[in-house]
Structure 1
Amino acid sequence: MIRKIALAALAATAVFHVAVFIEYGTLWVGALASYQELLLVFAFLLATFLVHAPIARLFGADRLTKPPAPVKALLEGLSVVLVSLVFWVMFFTIPQHYLVPTAEVTPKALRLSLAVSAVLSLFFYYFVEREHMRKNLEQEVIRAAQLQKETFQAQLEALQKQVDPHFLFNSLNVLGSLIHLDADRAVQFLGQLAEVYRALLDTGAQPLVPLHREMALVRAYASLMETRFGAALRVEWDVAPAWEQALVPPTAVQMLLENAIKHNGSTTRKPLLIKVSAADGLLVVENNRQPRTDAVASTHTGLPNIQRRYQHLTDRPVEIVPTAASFVVRLPLLTAPAA
């Protein structure tokens, strides 16, 4: 609003003095009363600028898709001219009639005043408001591209971690042990491993996925890790079906489970407990803190990647609450559950 007021004031001053120069050959008007017209020009331009924004939104790229482009452009220009006609009557014709009732205005002067008002309105619409909308659209395109980049990066990192030789080595060792000890569990473990890869590949290049699809990946990954670590790892679930259609960035929840397992030690006496729940528009992943004594190689990109993706999607922040006893991450769910 302040920007529009300042722009209207500057434009009104410029237009008024140009008109004075054309009429009198000077930029200075001696009579203070003459500056009433400057106030009228300011009011006209301010009202025009305020109405231009909704017109630009109405005729934006994603609106009024039925009319052909030439018809749409013609309607847009006519709307601007029509608005200028209404404001010309409001801020010039009516005030002049009441402020200077004895003044004689020729039809030629009226036509010229109307034409100048329409041209001014079209000029400021296409070179100010539409330019502003164009820049906003460019920023949206950049934002969408950045979000897609972050999403691809997260998916690539997730796939790279799952095909990491260390991960595969451990998984194959577990599978080899289970084949000798429990053939049925070995088959189950192999199915879980395949499910993790299938769920990762199914996310595609989408910036958001339904929570139920993300939970399919998370449950498969959790089952795989529970089979590997046995009683040293427990994962508890409290996600009501009402939240399953909410949207989250793909692999975000899985990355939180992976971080918890990676950075915490666990034994059968002191198991790592991870709780996954949904409430009040948030997906909460909480684990008890049991820092590992051995060094863990980490790129430290998991949480920052999740935060950056959310910054492109919503103003709601990712909440990270570390304490001495627990580590809690709350992810905004981007749609409300069905009633």
Structure 2
Amino acid sequence: MSYTFAHGFSCWVFHQYVLNQPRIVSFFRPRWAVGPGSVLFTLALYLPYDHLMASVFNLSVLWKEIPASRRLAWVLLRGSVLSSFMFFVAYYLKQNQESQAAKLENERLKQENLKARLEVLKQQISPHFLFNSLNTLKSISQEEPVKVFTIQLAQVYRYLLRHTTADVVMVQDELAFAEAYLSIQKARFGDSIRCDIAIAPSVYPRSVLPFVIQLLLENAIKHNTATLHKPLFIRIYSEKDSLIVSNNRQPKHTVEPSTGLGLKNIQMRYETIARQKIDIIADEFTWTVKIPLLRV
């Protein structure tokens, strides 16, 4: 009895190890072959193991009762039955564990989806009031710069609302949004910020993730000094399958608090949605970020 328990426990530990190693499981093609493969491996180790355990548990009397011609077949049959049974139990428990984890994850996603839908419903209330307020401000203002600023602000906010849930947007739309955002910033900084946009028309039908250009512009303005004597130069251009945003480096002496969420947000979204990475190239004088152009 102790001998059978020791063998069964050894098989159990081995099968558990195999099933919890993704590299080992992925080695088998097709996937169902992991079971026979694991059992065959235990049988390869079972013969020397059987002799060792037989001597430990003093089973010489039992060995004498089995004819030598049948001893090997009997040992392999016993080993394969016990190993197969242990694998089935380990596999069943593993599948049950994964099933429970999947149910918990689905439930979590359902809760997150409900929260997101509730948040969207809440956010539908404020835009109506904001756009009415902006229209009123544009109507009552007698100064042309104020009217232009109000129009640009409404355009930025409208884009934010329209594309918050979008996975990708056309380059042409994203550039229009970036130009509106820059207009708002230039109202604050004037000629301290200078931007050159050189995008080939052939790139316009391509796609990028929403808000990436704006986040990079915001990042450049936030971390660099911009004055009339030392203006911040920003270039937005295309190159092969990339959209590039580059700026000269003029680090501020007083650094504003930063969470670093801008670049992290872009990196994580591109890895999650597009399965691609952005390239960040930085030296003493320039900061450049290459964004992959997508085809949808």
Distance change (3 Å), C-alpha of 1:8 and 1:211: farther
TM-superposed CA distance for 1:244, in Å, is 2.0
- 8 Å contact 2:192–2:228 — kept in the other structure? yes
Out of 264, 269, 275, the position equivalent to 2:235 is: 275
What letter corresponds to residue 245 of structure 2 in structure 1?
Answer: V
- 8 Å contact 2:223–2:255 — kept in the other structure? no
In 1, Cα distance between equivalents of 2:173 and 2:35: 50
Out of 239, 248, 260, the position equivalent to 2:220 is: 260
Distance change (3 Å), C-alpha of 1:241 and 1:8: farther
| Equivalent position of 1:247 in the other structure | 207
Out of 142, 147, 168, the position equivalent to 1:208 is: 168
Q: Secondary structure at the match of 2:236?
A: strand
Which residues of 2 match residues 14-53 of structure 1 at below 5 A? 28-29=72-73
What letter corresponds to residue 192 of structure 2 in structure 1?
Answer: A
1:66-123 CA distances to partner (integer Å, 9 max, x unpaired)? xxxxxxxxxxxxxxxxxxxxxxxxxxxxxxxxxxxxxxxxxxxxxxxxxxxxxxxxxx
1:26-69 CA distances to partner (integer Å, 9 max, x unpaired)? 88439xxxxxxxxxxxxxxxxxxxxxxxxxxxxxxxxxxxxxxx
1:222-243 CA distances to partner (integer Å, 9 max, x unpaired)? 1211232111111111122222
TM-superposed CA distance for 1:258, in Å, is 0.5
| Equivalent position of 1:233 in the other structure | 193
Distance change (3 Å), C-alpha of 1:187 and 1:27: farther
Out of 301, 305, 310, the position equivalent to 2:270 is: 310
- 8 Å contact 1:288–1:327 — kept in the other structure? yes
Q: Secondary structure at the match of 2:73?
A: coil
Distance change (3 Å), C-alpha of 1:327 and 1:13: closer
Identity %: 32
In 2, Cα distance between equivalents of 1:195 and 1:314: 27
TM-superposed CA distance for 1:10, in Å, is 3.6
- Runs (5+) with no aligned partner, structure 1: 15-25, 31-123, 164-171
- 8 Å contact 1:238–1:278 — kept in the other structure? yes
| Equivalent position of 2:37 in the other structure | 9
- Runs (5+) with no aligned partner, structure 2: 1-25, 43-69, 75-87, 128-133
TM-score by length of 1: 0.49
1:246-276 CA distances to partner (integer Å, 9 max, x unpaired)? 2222211111000101111111122111111
1:117-163 CA distances to partner (integer Å, 9 max, x unpaired)? xxxxxxx9xx99xx8xx98xx6xx98xx7xx99xx8xxx9xx9xxx9
What is the total number of aligned residue pairs between the two structures? 202
Which residues of 2 match residues 1-339 of structure 1 at below 5 A? 2-4=27-29, 7-10=35-38, 28-29=72-73, 183-335=143-295
- 8 Å contact 1:281–1:333 — kept in the other structure? yes
After TM superposition, which residue ranges in structure 1, 4 or more long, deviate above 4 angstroms? 5-8, 11-14
- 8 Å contact 1:199–1:216 — kept in the other structure? no
In 2, Cα distance between equivalents of 1:247 and 1:258: 20
